Amino acid sequence: MAFDYGEEHGPHTWVLQFPDAGGKQQSPINLITSNMTEDPKLGPLTLLDNGISKQNVIMKAHNFEVATEGTGVLKGGPLKSEYKLVQFHFHWGSGNTWGSEHLVNGVSSPSEVHCVFFNERYGSISDAMKHPDGLTVLGSFLQLGKDGNPVFERLLNNLVGLKAGEKKSVNPVIKLSEFLPRNLSKYYTYPGSLTTPPCSECVTWIILDEPILISQNQGPQSVKSSWRYLGGTYGTDHFGFYEEKLDLP
């Protein structure tokens, strides 16, 4: 079944082929911080990625992703189980002012990275997608700063010459702990969905408050635009704030 971000097969048509797209917990959303409360029951996030052994960068029609093999685990925070890393991918706009899927108080960022994990209780990502706690996506906004980001530059270098459908091995592998903000203590979390078909409502979203900084030269103009219309404004989000830092190797 075809889908894209254009007029004929764009987000407004997805519900015709993918019924979950008409659900009440669709993502992305506009995160309104004045509607949020700090939840003292939420614990710290822990990211363990020493076991990542192999990666392939894959160019797709709407974005690019880095498929990961080995052991990358996210736990803690709002999560009741350990979640295994499958891949991370990026969403971009056509310019340097918008492109992220989520908004914060109506404001977009140039790009957004999504790190996709599945609940290890269910054995596989396909089985996990059948359950409301099946997946978690750790998201972070990319914003423009003065200096270039060396880890991101390494990733971009792997995209040179790649066409849609092609892939390339990433060597050495890119650890999320090298790329994501060091401080995982402040984040927004809510129950939502995949942002592309089948739009399954199986995702615990965790969006980091601190952005990843990239330079103007690393901006999104050269990457094909891909974004989804906002699913709505979620009024009962929880805002987590802790002093614990990201576990580094």
Catalytic residues, which ones? Answer: 62
Say how far apart CA 89 and CA 67 lie, in whole Å.
9
Residue 19: CB atoms within 10 Å: 11
Contacts of 205 (CB under 8 A, 6+ apart): 27, 136, 137, 139, 188, 189, 190, 191, 192
DSSP alpha helix (H) spans, the chain? 14-17, 125-128, 150-157, 176-179
Say how far apart CA 63 and CA 80 lie, in whole Å.
30
- Centroid of chain to Cα 229: 16
Q: What is the dihedral of CA 122, 123, 129, 132, to 10 degrees?
A: 20
Q: Which two tokens stand for residue 194?
A: 């995949």
